[in-house]
Amino acid sequence: MSASPSLDIDTLCINTIRTLSMDAVQAANSGHPGTPMALAPVAYALWQRHLRFDPQDPIWPNRDRFVLSAGHASMLLYSLLHLYGVRAVNAQYEQLGHPSVSLDDIKHFRQLDSRCPGHPEYRWTSGVECTTGPLGQGVATSVGMAIASRWLAARYNRPGFELFNYNVFALAGDGCMMEGISSEAASLAGHLKLSNLCWLYDNNQITIDGNTSLAFSEDVGARFRAYGWQVVHVTDANDLGQLDQALGTFLRTAQNPADRPTLIIVDSHIAWGAPNKQDTAHAHGEPLGDEEIRLTKRNYGWPEDAKFLVPDGVREHMAAGLAERGTGARAAWMALFEKYRAEHPELADQVYRMQHRQLPEGWDHDIPVFPADKKGMAGRDASGKVLNALAKRVPWLLGGSADLARSTKTTLTFEGAGDFQAGNRGGRNLHFGVREHAMGAVLNGLSLSKLRPYGSGFLIFSDYARPAIRLSAIMEIPTLHIFTHDSIGVGEDGPTHQPIEHLASLRAIPHLFTIRPADANEVAEAWRLIMRLRHEPVALVLSRQALPTLDRSRYAAASGLLRGGYVLADAREHDPARFKDRGLQLILIGSGSEVALAIEVYERLLADGICARVVSLPCFELFEHQSAEYKESVLPATVTARIAIEQASAFGWARYIGADGLSISMKTFGASAPLKELQKHFGFTPDAVFHTAKRLLG
C-alpha cells in the first residue's frame, strides 16, 4: 500500500512522520498527536538538511544535539529516530546494532517496555539527548550543552584540529516559553553569547486550557531580543524554504563564537480532517479518533485505512540526507581524532576518559587528610579544599554557584582556573547568577555532555532546583549539587533560610545520593565517592558552622562513609574490660553536625556505665544499597533503644529508630537567633540529649 503518487518526496516524508504519530497515539488511546503533526515539517527540515548527526553512532562526541523540550510531542522524535534508522547504544558505549526505535516500538507507544514512552527518556531510547517532560527543562538543559561545546572547543581544539564545534537545537512550545526556568536560561545564554544555540519556538498559540490569549500575550520576540538573542520569524511551519533560510541564518551566526543565540519563531496551527476543526484536547491530550484520522489521511493523499504505513522510498530518501551527511562528518572526525592522538596524546587521553566517564591516573592523590581538631572547620570549608585538590587533577571538573560561591566555597582558586565568560570559553568557574532553577538544568546539560559539573547554593534553595535534580536522577547522570547552610545553624537569618524539610525531600528522590558528612574527613570521603560515580547524581549537604574534626585514632575511619552508614564509636571497643561482655543498650544515630553532638553524649554515657554506640549515617540511599548482613551489624534489630539526632524534620528516620526509638529533630520551622541560643531552644545540646537517653533507658 502506498500514498498518492502525486506527492513530492519531501511531503511524503513529512506526512509519514505525521501519520506514524497519529496512528501511535490512536493505538495507545493516549498521547498528544497535534504538535507532532504540526511540527513535522520543522523537524524534517532540520534533520534532513542541516543536523550533523550519524544514525549509526548516535553518541559520537561532535554530533549536533537535538532536544525536544516540548516532550509531550514525543512521537515526533520517535518517528524521526525510526525513519532515520538510528541504532541503539548501550550504557557501556558499545554499538548494539538493532534499531533504537522499531516499528513495533511505535505500535506499542506508551506501553510497558516500549522504547517509546510517553515522554522522551535519556538512556532508555538511543538518540534521545535529554529526558524531557516538565516544560522548560529541555530548553534550559540545552544551554548547558551549548556551554559544554564552547568549553570543549576552548580546552581541546588546536590549530588544524577543530575537534569540537557542535551546535545545539531545542524545539519548544508555548508552555516552555511561559515557564520561568526558560527565562532564566535564555537570559544566561544571551549573556554568555552562546551563538551555537538555537531554539525553535512552535508559536501555535494553543495550550491545554485553550488559546494562549487566556494567559499569555507578551511579545516573545521582543523579550528575547532584550536577552541578547537573534530572533528570526518563519510565518508558515509548512514552508520548507522559509525554514531552510531561518536555519541557514542560525548556522552562519554559529560560526562566530562572539555572536548570539538564535530564536526561530515558527507560526503553526493545529488543523486537520474536518473543516474548520481545531481542538485543543486533540492537540495536547487525546487521540483524534478513527473518523478524524480517516479524514486527515484523505487530506494528506494517504490511504485512509492504512496504519503505520511507511511508503516506499521514504527511508531511502531520508537516509540520503541525514545519514550520508552525518556518517561522513563522523568518519572525518574519527580520522581527525587519530591524528590528534598522535600529536596531542595527553589531551586525547583526557577526551577519551571524559567521554567514557573515566578518571585520570592519580586523580585522588591530593585529597587532604584533616588532623583531629576540637574546633574543626565548616563542612563547606573542607569541601572547598578537597574540590580544589581534585579539580587540579581532573581538568573537566568545573562548576559554580547561583551567586553564592563565596558562601558555598566552590570557587576554583588555583592558577589558570578562570571564569567562563563570553570572552573566556576555557574558564572553569561558572557564574549562574541568581538562577537556581536554570542552574540545575544547565548542570544536567553539562553532565550529558560528559563533563563533571557541580552547582551550589544554600540548602533552603534546593526547592528551586528540585525539578532538575529529579531529572538528573531519572537520567542516571552524575550531576553534583552542593548545598551549604544545611540547618538551623544558619542562625540569625531565621526560618526563611533555615532548611527543615529539605533533607527528607531530597532523600525521597530515588537514585539520588543525599550525603551529609559529619566532619572534614567525611567530606573528603564523600568527594572520593562522588568522583567515582558514573550514573548517580549527588546532593552534598554541608554546614556553614565549624564542626569538630573527629579523632580517628579513637573513632572509626571516615571511609565508613563509602557504605552510607557505619559504626563510628562503640563502648565495647573503647572499654572492653568494662563492656566486652555487656549487651548493647543504646544506639545514637546522626548525620552532619549532629554526629559530634552524639559523640559528646556517648562519652558521657560511657562514663555513666551505659553500653552505647554511635552510628554516623550520612547517606540513607547508599546505606540501603548495602547487604542485609552489613546493615544488621550496624543497627542490630535486638537493640530497640535508639535515638536519631538531626536538626531537620524527623520524616524518614522511622525506618532506623523503629517503633521504640526517639527522634530529636525539628517539629516546627526555625527562628532568628544566634546558633547557641537556637540549639538550646530546640533541644540540641549535650544535656538535653543525655537526659533524653536516660529517660529512654528508664
**DSSP labels, 327-385:** HHHHHHHHHHHHHHHHH-HHHHHHHHHHHTT---TTTTTT---PPPEEEEEEHHHHHHH
At 671 the pLDDT is: 94
CA-CA-CA-CA torsion for 45, 47, 49, 51, nearest 10 degrees?
130
Residue 681 has pLDDT above 80, yes or no: yes
**CATH level 3 topology of 562-697:** Rossmann fold (3.40.50)
At 140 the pLDDT is: 98
At 637 the pLDDT is: 96
pLDDT band at 282 (very low <50, low <70, confident <90, very high): very low
Residue-wise burial string across 102-135, b where 16 or more C-beta atoms lie within 10 A, e elsewhere: beebbbbbbeeebbbbbbbbbebbbbbbbbbbbb
Residue 83: all three cell numbers together: 525513519
Residue ranges covered by each domain of the chain: 9-268+278-329, 373-546, 562-697
**CATH level 3 topology of 373-546:** Rossmann fold (3.40.50)
Q: Pick the closest to residue 543 from 482, 479, 611, 462 (CA basis).
A: 482
Are 9-268+278-329 and 373-546 the same fold in CATH? yes
Q: Cα–Cα distance between 639 and 583 in angstroms, integer? A: 9
Residue 473: all three cell numbers together: 536522577
Active site residue 536: no
Burial status of residue 42 (CB atoms within 10 A of its CB: 0-12, 13-18, 19 or more): buried
**CATH level 3 topology of 9-268+278-329:** Rossmann fold (3.40.50)
pLDDT band at 3 (very low <50, low <70, confident <90, very high): low
Q: Which of 179, 436, 621, 646 is catalytic?
A: 436
Residue 34 has pLDDT above 90, yes or no: no
364 HSE (CA, 13 A, CB side): 12
pLDDT per residue as tens digits for the range 193-229: 999 999 999 998 766 666 767 777 799 999 999 999 9
Range name among 84-98, 243-257, 468-482, 544-558 with the lowest pLDDT average: 84-98
Range name among 301-305, 568-572, 644-648 with the lowest pLDDT average: 301-305
Q: What residue spans of 218-313 are helical by DSSP H?
A: 220-227, 240-254, 280-284, 290-299
pLDDT band at 276 (very low <50, low <70, confident <90, very high): very low
Q: Cα–Cα distance between 353 and 90 in angstroms, integer? A: 17
